[in-house]
Chains A and B, each alone.
Chain A
């Protein structure tokens, strides 16, 4: 079945450094979504990418969808302590089901 691989599993940075997490799917995706889960919380929707090669920005966050619609990345510029959490990508598949990547846990040294 469809698999979504996400790396790295963990990332620790100094506050102010940049951060990037990558997702790769075994199959072409109809769309990819990104979520953030704070420690002890639930996933919160960040963004959805649909088009091949699409790039979207939300303040310091930049999301990209690959040309082949099989990979995606999330880049955070100049991290802040509020960025701490686990970032998940989720590939849109059939019947509206989402297949989640393993997540990247971001910790930040203030």
Chain B
């Protein structure tokens, strides 16, 4: 079955550490997205990529970095510069260039600070 796989499901980080969240999709989608979900704030866009080797900042990119070396993969690094990293992180993908196509979501990674 096609889908989006996020790993790990739970992640713990010490202060000052960088951590990388994995997102892999086998839907052959060009566009991929990272969101952060906090209670009462909905989903906020961190970064997105519409094609391999290219990505754009979303609304809350500070303290995060991404790469898009392969179509299937869009890892997110939460750096030590992110002051409040505890959140639920969601990865999504969709068909590029057709705006009425919905985004498909992974199961998410819950990041906590120790």
User: Do A and B share a complex?
Assistant: no
Residues of B within 8 A of A (CB): none
Give the interface of A toward B (CB within 8 A): none
